[in-house]
């Protein structure tokens, strides 16, 4: 253990520190309560051994301050004036134990600190085991998704999890990049170490630098003591930098140094610190475009992009809607059959611009609205659910083409059906979407895929709107 010995009789403090060092502890000593607080602010200690009677702050005052500011620190009192009342007061304030400064008290003190060290080690092991158990419920096998694009992302994540390589997770908001990052950590050899997440877009630049790298006492107004950063918190584990595209340029330089050299300095410091941390990052932004516009450093981009994984949007894996819905319902204490067939069909038709996150929130809201009743279409809050479900329920196809002996191409067939629908609707895409049993948004997506529409291209107003202003009536693309 790292132990700070406090006694205004300097000779006694030195002798106690030397004997504890011989017992295997790393020790320092100071000559009073005020000096002890200054030393504790500058560096961390596992235990404080303090005399009771000293100039203010005395042993009890120091004990109270240590437990308030550094609650995990073990405190043992030394006194030549031991009494039952002293013991009660010390234990009530959070002291681990106390010794009488008579005879061979340092031997007793060594035994007390040895016991405290074993208990700290046991607590640390329990925490490590808890992380290991946690990993069994958070690794890659727990991610729901069987679509080919999802299977590919999971395959890549499984391969890189076994390494210490930096990973860049890319994809739209709500696709589950955070979930992938956690799963990679808990599937890696670092699963027993800390998992630390920082949202780079949630803090202003000055605070973000201190959050990531820590600061020294006096580095800025309000920095009354030394504070470790998130890199130090993540030692031997994984640091997840979410929304990495929001990281200011100045901090991009410092991050690149940590990735390449494993060293950094705290804010206001000049002493390089070395850290063993694996870095995972995520973004929904076009980093290549940001590099071209000089908003993101190209050297940092290339360093982060060593192993990119794209998490696909939900609209590209509609077959995963059913198992995901079942997962979320079970997580909220409901069975999968709480969802009616009509509601499930409406979910499968919805384009989900908010992706998996939108699906979860839609189901959570639907469960509240439905109460003890089954979840039906009217309980789903997204626009067009009722229309989509009604079309699906009533417009069962009366014609299905036969597959010729030589087979056919679904891509070609879909393109031809879209062209026929547009021709019958005289180019009105709202009518064409209804003929095909699609939403306009889904029709636009499929037209773009077949080269029938440019991305972002405008469209005519919904049927019956005439020259209504943009945004009126049916949702525009």
Mean pLDDT score, 51-56 = 87
| Residue partners of 385: CB distance under 8 A and separation at least 6 | 343, 346, 347, 350, 377
Query: How big is the chain by its Cα radius of gyration, in Å?
Result: 32
What residue ranges do the domains of the chain occupy? 2-122, 137-310, 315-394, 408-477
Q: How confident is the model at residue 83 (pLDDT cuts 50, 70, 90)?
A: low
Buried b (16+ CB within 10 A) or exposed e, 66-76: bbeebeebbbb
Does the pLDDT at position 472 exceed 60? Answer: no
Mean pLDDT score, 60-76 = 90
Handedness of CA 430, 431, 433, 437 (dihedral sign): positive
| Residue partners of 339: CB distance under 8 A and separation at least 6 | 325, 329, 347, 374, 375
In order of 185, 254, 263, 281, 327, the CA distances from 260 in angstroms are 20, 10, 8, 15, 40
Handedness of CA 31, 37, 39, 40 (dihedral sign): positive
Domain 137-310 - what CATH class?
Answer: alpha beta
Share of the chain above pLDDT 90, in %: 38
Query: What dihedral angle (degrees, nearest 10) is formed by the CA atoms of 54, 60, 63, 67?
Result: -150
Confidence at residue 286, expressed as pLDDT on a 0 to 100 scale: 93
CA pair distance 287, 182, nearest whole angstrom: 22
Crossing angle between the packed helical segments 59-69 and 84-92, to the nearest 10 degrees: 20
CA geometry: angle 7, 13, 18, nearest 5 deg: 155
Q: How confident is the model at residue 397 (pLDDT cuts 50, 70, 90)?
A: very low
Confidence at residue 69, expressed as pLDDT on a 0 to 100 scale: 87
Q: For residue 74, report the phi and psi dihedrals to the nearest 5 degrees.
A: -80, 130
Token pair 């890189």 is found at 160
pTM metric for this prediction: 0.56
Does the pLDDT at position 264 exceed 70? Answer: yes
Domain 315-394 - what CATH class?
Answer: mainly alpha
Pick the CATH number of 2-122 from 3.40.50.2300, 3.30.420.40, 1.20.58.100, 3.40.50.150: 3.40.50.2300
Most confident segment among 84-88, 137-141, 237-241, 376-380: 237-241
57 upstream amide cis, omega within 30 of 0: yes
In order of 6, 10, 104, 417, the CA distances from 32 in angstroms are 6, 9, 22, 86
116-164, pLDDT tens digit by residue? 888 887 876 665 555 544 444 466 777 888 889 999 999 999 999 999 9
Query: Which residue, among 106, 108, 67, 56, has the nearest Cα to 89 in the 3D structure?
Result: 67
Q: Which helix (H) or strand (E) holds 120?
A: helix 105-136
Work out the mean pLDDT of the chain and round it to a whole number.
Answer: 83
CA geometry: angle 44, 48, 52, nearest 5 deg: 145
Q: Which CATH superfamily groups domain 408-477?
A: Homeodomain-like (1.10.10.60)
Does the pLDDT at position 310 exceed 70? Answer: yes
Does the pLDDT at position 384 exceed 60? Answer: no
Confidence at residue 291, expressed as pLDDT on a 0 to 100 scale: 95
Matching fold, domains 137-310 and 408-477: no
For residue 311 the two structure tokens come to: 């998490």
Does the pLDDT at position 6 exceed 50? Answer: yes
Share of the chain above pLDDT 70, in %: 86
Confidence at residue 238, expressed as pLDDT on a 0 to 100 scale: 96
Task: Tell me which of 206 and 180 has the higher pLDDT.
Answer: 180
């Amino acid at each position: 253990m790292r132990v700070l010995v406090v006694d205004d009789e300097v000779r006694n403090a030195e002798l106690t520190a030397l004997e504890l060092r011989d017992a295997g502890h790393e020790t320092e000593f100071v000559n009073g309560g005020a000096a002890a607080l200054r030393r504790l602010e500058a560096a961390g200690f596992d235990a404080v051994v303090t005399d009771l009677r000293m100039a203010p702050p005395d042993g009890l005052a120091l004990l109270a301050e240590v437990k308030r500011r550094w609650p995990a620190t073990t405190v043992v009192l030394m006194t030549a004036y031991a009494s039952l009342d002293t013991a009660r007061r010390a234990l009530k304030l959070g002291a681990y134990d106390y010794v009488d400064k008579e005879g061979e008290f340092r031997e007793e003190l060594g035994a007390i600190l040895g016991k405290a060290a074993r208990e700290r080690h046991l607590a640390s092991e329990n925490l490590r085991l808890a992380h290991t158990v946690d990993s069994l419920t958070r690794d890659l096998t727990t991610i729901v998704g069987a679509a080919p694009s999802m299977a590919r992302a999971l395959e890549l994540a499984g391969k890189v999890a076994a390494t210490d390589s930096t990973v860049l997770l890319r994809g739209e908001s709500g696709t589950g990049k955070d979930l992938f990052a956690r799963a990679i950590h808990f599937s890696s050899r670092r699963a027993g170490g800390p998992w630390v997440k920082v949202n780079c877009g949630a803090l202003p630049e000055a605070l973000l630098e201190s959050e990531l790298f820590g600061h020294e006492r006096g580095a800025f107004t309000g920095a009354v003591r030394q504070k470790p950063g998130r890199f130090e918190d993540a030692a031997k584990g994984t640091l997840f930098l979410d929304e990495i595209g929001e990281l200011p340029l100045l901090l991009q330089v410092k991050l690149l140094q940590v990735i390449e050299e494993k060293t950094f300095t705290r804010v206001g410091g000049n002493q390089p610190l070395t850290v063993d941390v694996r870095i995972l990052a995520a973004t929904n932004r076009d980093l290549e475009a940001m590099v071209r516009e000089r908003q993101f450093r190209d050297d940092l981009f290339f360093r982060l992009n060593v192993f990119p994984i794209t998490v696909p949007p939900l609209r590209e894996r509609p077959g995963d809607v059913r198992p995901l819905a079942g997962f979320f319902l079970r997580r909220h204490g409901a069975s999968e059959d709480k969802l009616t067939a009509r509601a499930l069909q409406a979910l499968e038709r919805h384009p989900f611009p908010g992706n998996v996150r939108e699906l979860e929130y839609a189901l959570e809201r639907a469960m509240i609205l439905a109460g003890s009743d089954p979840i039906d279409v009217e309980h789903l809050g997204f626009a067009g659910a009722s229309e989509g479900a009604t079309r699906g329920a009533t417009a069962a196809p009366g014609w299905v083409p036969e597959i010729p002996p030589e087979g056919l191409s679904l891509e070609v067939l879909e393109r031809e059906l879209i062209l026929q629908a547009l021709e019958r609707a005289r180019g009105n895409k709202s009518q064409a979407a209804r003929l095909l049993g699609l939403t306009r948004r889904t029709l636009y997506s499929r037209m773009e895929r077949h080269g029938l529409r440019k991305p972002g291209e405008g469209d005519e107003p919904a049927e019956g709107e005439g020259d209504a202003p943009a945004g009126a009536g049916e949702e525009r693309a």
